[in-house]
């Protein structure tokens, strides 16, 4: 058997409309460095990640190449590809760019605070279960709203998780699921696990992530990120 190959697909093609900024959220600065830098450097330093594929907007490819990859000397980024209309289109472009590997780590570039312990837990899990996502139990009570704006009922908080990224899969499994879902234009999927679930490919194992593994979505998130970034390189 050959050596196991692990590839990270980092998504950086979202427009970030909720940030109310002309600059895409992935390129906003935390401690003087772009948000996506922190995601990339985590995979760069991870000993079992062999390559990184960065998926961005077509107009940002050269910027990423010169102002992030070359500037910060990120050796594992082997390709930068243009994303698609929706998130799942961008993921599929990243998967196609890999060609072949054993496991793929699909991660939102707007989540800058993944760490090595989290990645190791995901690695251990995917080798056993073939499909896993990191996340954390919810802290708040979750209510379902009725059409009239009143609370309809309350969900059992003990069974609820906030799903994060990376979402990690056996490459052949997730590629086949995405290849199938592309035949249904307009389908509503919000994460990679949902693609695998809807295509009936595998059960998804939930793996402990981190409450610090926030997604930079609003200006308030950026303020929190500045605090979390104090112990980051």
Tens digits of residue pLDDT in 55-77: 999 999 999 999 999 999 999 99
pLDDT 10s digits, 139-184 = 999 999 988 889 999 999 999 999 999 999 999 999 999 999 999 8
User: 124 pLDDT exceeds 50?
Assistant: yes
Mean pLDDT of the chain: 91
pLDDT 10s digits, 190-221 = 899 999 998 867 899 999 999 999 999 888 99
Domains of the chain, each with CATH number or no CATH: 6-116+165-190+211-231 (3.90.550.10)
Q: Residue 218: CB partners within 8 Å, gap ≥ 6?
A: 18, 19
- Burial of residue 68, with CB atoms counted within 10 A of its CB: 0-12 exposed, 13-18 middle, 19 or more buried: buried
User: 21 pLDDT exceeds 60?
Assistant: no
Predicted pLDDT at 232: 73
**H-assigned helices in 16-154:** 35-45, 61-64, 87-98, 116-129
Predicted pLDDT at 19: 45
Predicted pLDDT at 20: 47
Provide the total of helices (H) and of strands (E) in the chain, helices listed first: 7, 11
Predicted pLDDT at 22: 54
- Strand segments (E) across the chain: 6-12, 29-30, 33-34, 51-56, 77-82, 103-108, 131-137, 143-145, 151-154, 161-170, 205-208
% of the chain exceeding 90 in pLDDT: 79
Name the token pair of 166: 């990376």
């Amino acid at each position: 058997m050959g050596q196991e190959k692990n590839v990270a697909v980092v998504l950086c093609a979202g427009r970030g409309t909720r940030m109310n900024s002309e600059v895409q959220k992935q390129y906003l600065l935390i401690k003087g460095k772009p948000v996506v830098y922190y995601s990339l450097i985590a995979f760069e330093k991870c000993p079992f990640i062999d390559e990184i594929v960065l998926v961005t907007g077509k107009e940002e490819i050269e910027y990423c190449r010169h102002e992030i990859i070359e500037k910060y000397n990120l050796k594992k980024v082997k390709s930068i590809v243009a994303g698609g209309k929706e998130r799942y289109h961008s993921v599929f472009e990243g998967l196609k760019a890999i060609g072949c590997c054993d496991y793929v780590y699909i991660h939102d570039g707007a989540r800058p605070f993944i760490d090595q312990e989290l990645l190791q837990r995901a690695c251990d899990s995917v080798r056993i279960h073939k499909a896993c996502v990191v996340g954390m139990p919810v802290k708040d009570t979750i209510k379902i709203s009725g059409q009239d704006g009143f609370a309809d009922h309350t969900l059992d908080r003990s069974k609820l998780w906030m799903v994060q990224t990376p979402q990690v899969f056996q490459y052949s499994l997730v590629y086949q699921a995405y290849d199938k879902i592309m035949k249904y234009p307009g389908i509503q999927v919000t994460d990679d696990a949902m693609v695998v679930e809807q295509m009936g490919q595998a059960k998804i194992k939930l793996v402990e992530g981190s409450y610090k593994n926030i997604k930079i979505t609003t200006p308030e998130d950026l303020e929190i990120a500045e605090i979390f970034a104090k112990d980051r390189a």
